[in-house]
């Protein structure tokens, strides 16, 4: 590789890199040598000239996201190896050529050694979200990796980075980088879903709830189920398939409600009464007259940064309190948080505060998290964003 720009760290800041944490904060940088611009590949050194890592530079609080802790001679080769490793892991965990599930996360950012990159696989279409210019500038490389791995099974590659990167990178459109719009139906544990990667949220579907939906199904028989923040109706479809007595889905987005209705129709679940409500969940819980045996609370990330953490914790408390007020005795609540900055302890604290206020006996039956196709590096606890509790409320 041509000579790369160098970033020299302050002496007392090298320990985190030596412990394989993949981020270098701007305050850790002592000096920079060479032309270091947004998106550049840089080498990171100690003050004594010891090589530490190679990463991608972004002029922000997290200045470097590390790609490798070993010298890199060929960046295309490094990307390909990472894609191959990621694919191999999905094979190992049974998600490749699986007749019942043909959608999964192929690249989970730091968890697959490619910070700021998400690639989700939907039965022949790969949907990319690059969260930094460095990755955005390397989309061709990413498409090449996908072609090598999937060969003829790859029908299309859709770039959805504009949705997350538009402001900083001056890009305005999401587009197909390979192939074109094609069938968008997937299977998840045998349930059918239409994925709208073009207009839907994130890459189109919340793949991270796959296993939690299957766990929910175990609790649903003959139950009156309320699925809040339902998006495309994932939990609702599983609940209905599992023999719920009734399912209500609530989401503030009309698009989400449309998707929910389509997905329910697709699975021929006509026998179970279902009703969708396009409403704010907080208002719905306050005003509705129904009572439920099982409530799912899966809100969007209430905190996007550490500054909003306290407010987010208060919002989790309020939401869970409303569900504790509503749920029947011997009821079950599946409650989630996907805010990265709200850790398990904060989240459980918020739920406990809500339980105290409701004065109801509450037991924890299970702790839930993200599935194996959303791996996290053990050195990067920030990667474990999804947490959930299954609660019995008497
Ligand atoms: N449980 C879903 C994912 C939820 S994503 C699944 O398994 O696929 C969060 C959803 O909450 C989004 O669809 C968003 O439209 C909705 N939402 C956000 N704020 C809301 C609010 N205050 N009331 C109702 N829905 C809301």
Instruction: Say how far apart CA 237 and CA 42 lie, in whole Å.
Output: 47
| Same-domain status, 314 and 369 | yes
175-178 sheet: strands from edge to edge: 103-108, 117-122, 125-130, 156-159, 175-178
| Same-domain status, 151 and 232 | no
User: Where does a domain end: 68, 96, 116?
Assistant: 68
pTM: 0.96
Instruction: Say how far apart CA 87 and CA 112 lie, in whole Å.
Output: 10
DSSP label at 279? S
| Same-domain status, 286 and 163 | no
246-251 sheet: strands from edge to edge: 274-278, 246-251, 224-228, 292-297, 327-337, 387-393, 362-368
In sequence order, the 6+-apart residues with CB closer than 8 A to the CB of 68 are 53, 54, 55, 78, 113
CATH number at residue 19: 2.30.130.10
| Same-domain status, 219 and 292 | yes
Protein residue with its CA nearest to atom 11 in ligand 1: 229
Question: What pLDDT, on a 0 to 100 scale, did the predictor assign at position 170?
Answer: 67
Report how many domains make up the chain. Answer: 3
In a domain, 1, yes or no: no
State the average pLDDT over residues 54-79.
95
In a domain, 198, yes or no: no
In a domain, 192, yes or no: no
- Per the rule left: phi > 0, alpha: psi between -120 and 50, beta: everything else, 155 is alpha
In a domain, 338, yes or no: yes
Task: Pick the closest to residue 195 from 4, 186, 230, 71 (CA basis).
Answer: 186
State the average pLDDT over residues 49-55.
97
User: Where does a domain end: 68, 85, 104?
Assistant: 68
| Same-domain status, 39 and 130 | no
pLDDT confidence of 308, banded at 50, 70, 90? confident
Q: Is the CB–ligand 1 distance for residue 232 below 6 Å?
A: yes
Q: Is the CB–ligand 1 distance for residue 280 below 6 Å?
A: yes
| Same-domain status, 31 and 47 | yes
pLDDT at 307 over 90: no
| Same-domain status, 378 and 251 | yes
Q: What angle, 0 to 180 degrees and rounded to 10, lies between the N-to-C axes of helices 139-150 and 75-92? A: 40
CATH number at residue 146: 3.30.750.80
| Same-domain status, 35 and 114 | no
| Same-domain status, 313 and 213 | yes
pLDDT at 166 over 80: no
User: Where does a domain end: 29, 45, 68?
Assistant: 68
Q: Is the CB–ligand 1 distance for residue 300 below 6 Å?
A: yes
Residue of 199, 211, 229 with the most ligand 1 atoms within 8 Å of its CB, for mutation: 229
pLDDT at 229 over 80: yes
Domain that holds residue 341: 206-393
| Same-domain status, 87 and 158 | yes
């Amino acid at each position: 590789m041509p000579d790369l720009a160098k970033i020299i760290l302050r002496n007392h800041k090298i320990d985190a890199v030596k412990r394989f944490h993949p981020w270098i904060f701007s305050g850790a940088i002592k000096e920079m040598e060479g032309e270091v611009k947004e998106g550049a590949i840089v080498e990171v050194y100690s003050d004594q000239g010891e090589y530490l890592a190679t990463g991608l530079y972004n002029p922000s609080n997290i200045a470097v996201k590390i790609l490798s802790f070993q010298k890199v001679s060929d960046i295309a080769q490094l990307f390909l190896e990472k894609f191959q490793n990621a694919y191999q892991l999905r094979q190992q965990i049974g998600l490749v050529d699986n007749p019942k599930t043909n959608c999964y996360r192929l690249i989970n950012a730091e968890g697959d050694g490619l910070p700021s990159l998400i690639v989700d696989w939907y039965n022949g279409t790969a949907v990319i979200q690059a969260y930094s210019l460095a990755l955005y500038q390397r989309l061709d490389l990413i498409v090449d990796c996908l072609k090598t791995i999937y060969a003829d099974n790859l029908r299309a590659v859709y770039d959805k980075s504009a949705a997350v990167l538009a402001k900083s990178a001056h890009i305005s459109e999401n587009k197909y980088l390979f192939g074109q719009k094609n069938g968008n139906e997937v299977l998840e544990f045998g349930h059918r879903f239409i994925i709208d990667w073009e207009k839907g949220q994130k890459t189109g579907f919340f793949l991270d709830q796959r296993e939690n939906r299957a766990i929910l199904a175990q609790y649903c028989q003959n139950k009156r189920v309320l699925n809040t923040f339902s998006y495309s109706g994932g939990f609702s479809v599983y609940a209905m398939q599992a023999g719920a007595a009734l399912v209500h889905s609530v989401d503030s987005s009309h698009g989400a409600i449309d998707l929910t209705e389509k997905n329910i129709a697709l699975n021929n679940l006509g026998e179970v009464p279902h009703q969708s409500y396009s409403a704010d969940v907080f208002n719905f819980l306050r005003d509705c007259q129904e009572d439920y045996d099982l409530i799912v609370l899966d809100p969007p990330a209430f905190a996007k940064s550490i500054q909003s953490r306290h407010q987010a914790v208060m919002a989790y408390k309020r939401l869970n309190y409303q569900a504790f007020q509503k749920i029947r005795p011997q009821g079950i609540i599946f409650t989630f948080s996907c805010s990265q900055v709200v850790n398990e302890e904060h989240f459980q604290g918020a739920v406990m505060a809500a339980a105290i206020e409701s004065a109801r006996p509450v037991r924890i039956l299970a702790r839930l998290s993200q599935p194996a196709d959303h791996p996290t590096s053990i050195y990067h606890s920030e990667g474990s964003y999804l947490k959930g509790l299954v609660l019995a409320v008497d």
